[in-house]
Amino acid sequence: MRTIDSADITTAPKRWSIIAAPSNDRETMPQHSRLQDLNSWVDAVAARTQPDRIVWCDGSDAEYHRLVAQMTDDGTLLPLNQDRYPGCYLHRSDPDDVARVEHLTFVCTSDEEDAGPNNNWMAPDAAHAKIDALFNGAMRGRTMYVVPYCMGPIDSPYARCGVEITDSPYVVVNMKLMTRMGDAALARIERDGDYVKGLHSTGTLDPDQRFIMHFPESLEIKSYGSGYGGNALLGKKCHALRIASWQARKEGWLAEHMLIVGVQSPAGDTHYLACAFPSACGKTNLAMLIPPASQPGWKIWTLGDDIAWLHLDDAGQLRAINPEAGYFGVVPGTNEKTNKNAFDTIRSDTIFTNVALTEDNCPWWEDKGEGTPATDWRGNPYSGDGPAAHPNARFTVRATANPVYSELAEAPDGVPISAIVFGGRRKQLAPLVFEAKDWHHGVMVAAGVASETTAAATGAVGVVRRDPMAMKPFCGYNFADYWAHWLSFAERSDTLPRVFHVNWFRQDSDGRFLWPGFGENLRVLRWIIGRCDGQLEARDTAIGHLPHEADIDAHDLDMAPGALETLLDVDMAGWDAEIAAVGEYLDAFGARVPDRLRETQLKVRDALKAVS
Ligand code: GTP
Ligand code: SPV
Ligand code: MN
């Protein structure tokens, strides 16, 4: 890869294709036949976007460090206090570009019905025309980076590759931390012959000229006008969820917004759980949980913190791989008590986005538990007004830096899943935990998940909305078809994982959390595992199986008297209204909603009517 200096810029020829490579860096790919399609696409993109130069990224550490040096020179990255945070940098994004933009995110299928009411839709031709016009000349004066990446272990049959073309070096270094990026991925692309094409430009950063477009039928993504996270790191939500969910439906697997965690008992058995919670609702925290002192002998292993690809193996066992190789995690709230593993992981070799700074140039965020902010996330002296770090400030760090990283995250076949856990952020109603009665009921519970919106997307925060399977922003096709796909797994296996629902976020009338959460969530995971092992009885209610209070280990818990009882209570009248609302929600998807889902919802409704 070439580094850029001012001499380069003044002398750069107008046409990218005739730049002579001054070093070992590659500006054109060897013309392997399987890569001809890639070369032609890169040529076509360059012809449209007119970059000053093209760099094919090899994914090496040297390349990463060269890009970091380049960005510290031009101010894109600010080095943090290198004594206390070695290898750590701060990036301040544009203040109008700090989160995913769901209203500007489109799924462009030939038939609008295929995208469904859960997605914004544009016809593919119109969408290409609209966004291509923005890409015209967009990279003039800039470098175009070609970033081959692999989602999943490089030798996994379940892994899939993509190539992101971007004009953002910040995106390139994030992709290096978040994916298996570079030469190994390119070799796999050559072998596979297919890959997802992602085109990205930060463009003008004008929110009125920002689009994140997906073309699942042609495996393309085009993203213009944002440099932030899920809008710009195209391997993540765009590829590994929206495009992959479409492919998964066609091919019989699932691409989900789920963490993957191994829970090892004192006896040494490990159960793997896949848990779907909406954005900023606790996946990273649960995936890296540290068992409290009251739970000796238990151990947690992180496989993934955001995305899981799930496949049935030949024996009908559901297995999960994490397509990612790093974490793009929420910074605020991370401290020694809540998530010490993350807190320690982000002490070195981390890119922080939109955190505040202390006087001595250390990163600072709300609830860090140490230091005081001198400069806010925008780079202004901190006034004491509002949060100093942006509520959606993020860290990017490689997964292997996590002290409890599971090496099985590299296993080509993934890990067997014992339980699937859904959850939402609900102040009221949803109990601490309950188990669905069977797979079909579990799919209904998941389709009815509701959660308060968070700062992970632009728009109002704290508004309860339906977020089925925590996939509202990420399902690349019609939810009605998605639910049918989920239901169809029962036809293919009779050993599917049990399905649960949890809620860490119940509050009392003063707005205090009823459940201590974080490490203490292990107590709930233990109940889930106890159920999977057939060791625990449960209370059968209209909404599902709830724990007997004595089966949640509450010893040494700092909780208000009666709190556990409240957390395990089922408010029948409240649930009656909730299940009716789920019915109305399903109605909005019309005749495509699978009958079986409707029948399950009606069955629960009737059971509630009988008791309330
Ligand atoms: P995305 O990366 O956006 O998909 O989010 P995530 O689901 O990984 O969320 P994360 O674990 O980063 O948590 C988001 C916020 O919820 C943080 O501020 C956490 O401190 C807070 N949080 C996580 N777990 C708990 C919990 O058990 N109880 C409470 N009260 N807060 C929690
Ligand atoms: C989320 O919003 O669910 C995230 C962050 O994990 S982003 O990569 O921006 O989608
Ligand atoms: Mn997420």
- CATH for 564: 3.90.228.20
CB 380, CB 371: distance < 8 Å: no
CA distances (Å), 317 to each of 313, 482, 488, in order?
Answer: 5, 20, 15
Tell whether 303 and 433 lie within a shared domain.
yes
- 599: CA distance to ligand 3 center in Å? 31
- Looking at all shown ligands, the one closest to residue 178's CA atom is 2
Q: Is the pLDDT of residue 26 over 60?
A: no
For ligand 1, whether the C-beta of 307 sits within 6 Å is no
- What pLDDT does 34 receive? 74
> How much distance in Å is there from the Cα of 540 to the middle of ligand 2?
36
Judge contact between 442 and 434, C-beta under 8 A.
no
55: domain CATH number is: 3.40.449.10
Give the model's pLDDT for residue 612. Answer: 75
List, in sequence order, every residue forming a beta bridge with 164; answer none if it has no partner: 147, 198
Q: Ligand 1 within 6 A of 503 CB?
A: no
Q: Are residues 450 and 590 in the same domain?
A: yes
**Closest ligand (CA of 236):** 2
Token pair of 360 as six digits: 């001595």
573 and 497 within one domain: yes
What is the CATH classification number for the domain harbouring 346?
2.170.8.10
The per-residue pLDDT for range 82-97, each reduced to its tens digit, is 999 999 999 999 999 9
Its pTM stands at 0.95
Tell the residue nearest (CA) to atom 9 of ligand 2. Answer: 230
User: In which band, very low, low, confident or very high, does the pLDDT at 17 lie, cut at 50, 70 and 90?
Assistant: very low
**Residue 489 sits in the same domain as residue 415:** yes
Q: 1-5, long-range: CB within 8 Å, 24+ apart, which pairs?
A: 1/25, 1/26, 1/55, 1/56, 1/57, 1/58, 1/63, 1/66, 1/67, 2/27, 2/53, 2/55, 3/66, 3/69, 3/70, 4/53, 4/70, 4/143
328 Cβ below 6 A of ligand 2: yes
Ligand nearest the Cα atom of residue 102:
2
Q: Is residue 121 part of a domain?
A: yes
d(CA 132, CA 130): 6
Structure tokens at 469: 């399977």
Ligand 1 neighbourhood includes 513 CB (under 6 angstroms): yes
**What is the distance in A from the centroid of ligand 1 to the CA of 353?**
17
Distance 331 CA to ligand 2 centre (A): 12
At residue 21, does pLDDT exceed 70?
no
Least distant ligand from the CA of 257: 3
Confidence of residue 20 (pLDDT cuts 50, 70, 90): very low
Residue 81 lies in a domain: no
Would you say residue 433 lies in a domain? yes
For residue 13, what pLDDT is reported? 30
pLDDT-based confidence at residue 28 (cuts at 50, 70, 90): low
Angle at 261 between CA 539 and CA 251, to 5 degrees: 95
Is 230 touching ligand 2 by the criterion CB < 6 Å?
Answer: yes
Q: What percent of the chain has pLDDT over 70?
A: 95
Higher pLDDT, 558 or 79: 79
Same domain, 550 and 463: yes
Domain boundary among 347, 375, 401: 401
Q: Is there an atom of ligand 2 within 6 Å of 239 CB? A: no
Query: Is residue 279 lining ligand 1, measured as CB closer than 6 Å?
Result: yes
For residue 7, what pLDDT is reported? 31
pLDDT in tens, 268-289: 999 999 999 999 999 999 999 9
- Per the CB < 8 A criterion, the answer to whether 569 and 506 are in contact is no
Ligand 1 atom nearest 305 alpha carbon: 8
Query: Strands, DSSP E only, in 389-497?
Result: 394-398, 415-423, 433-435, 450-452, 464-466
| Among the listed residues 167, 176, 149, the one whose alpha carbon sits nearest the alpha carbon of residue 238 | 149
Q: Is residue 87 part of a domain?
A: no
The verdict on 370 and 435 lying in the same domain is no
334 in the same domain as 441:
no
Instruction: Classify residue 90: in a domain, yes or no.
Output: no
Same structural domain for residues 458 and 534?
yes
Where among 386, 401, 416 does a domain terminate?
401
Q: Report the nearest-CA residue for atom 10 of ligand 2.
A: 230
The verdict on 295 and 424 lying in the same domain is yes
Domain hosting residue 340, numbered range: 327-401
Active-site residues, by number, are 281
Distance (Å) from CA 330 to ligand 2 centroid:
9
Domain count, the chain: 3
Q: Which of 258, 283, 285 to mutate for ligand 1's pocket (most ligand atoms within 8 Å of CB)?
A: 285
Please give the pLDDT value at position 12: 30
Tell me the two tokens of residue 151.
């989602």
Q: Is 519 in the pocket of ligand 1 (CB under 6 A)?
A: no
170 & 21 share domain:
yes
Mark whether 446 and 522 lie in a shared domain: yes
User: Among the three residues 252, 282, 306, which one is the final residue of a domain in this structure?
Assistant: 252
In a domain, 132, yes or no: yes
Residues 352 and 475 in one domain: no
| Site to substitute for ligand 1 among 284, 366, 514, most atoms within 8 A of C-beta | 284
- Cβ of 282 closer than 6 Å to ligand 2, yes or no, is no
**Which residue has its alpha carbon closest to ligand 1 atom 27?**
517
Q: What is the mean pLDDT of the chain?
A: 94
| Residue range 405-428: mean pLDDT, rounded | 98
The ligand minimizing its distance to the Cα of 523 is 1
Which ligand 1 atom sits closest to the C-alpha of 332?
18
Sign of CA dihedral 248, 326, 329, 402: positive
Q: In the structure, what pLDDT confidence band is assigned to residue 435 with cuts at 50, 70 and 90?
A: very high
Q: Does the pLDDT at position 22 exceed 60?
A: no
User: Does the structure show a pLDDT above 80 at 6?
Assistant: no
Ligand 1 and 330: CB distance under 6 A:
yes
pLDDT of 10 = 29
**95 domain residue, yes or no:** no
| Residues around ligand 3, an ion, CB closer than 5 A | 279, 306
The CB of 453 under 6 Å from ligand 1? The reply is no
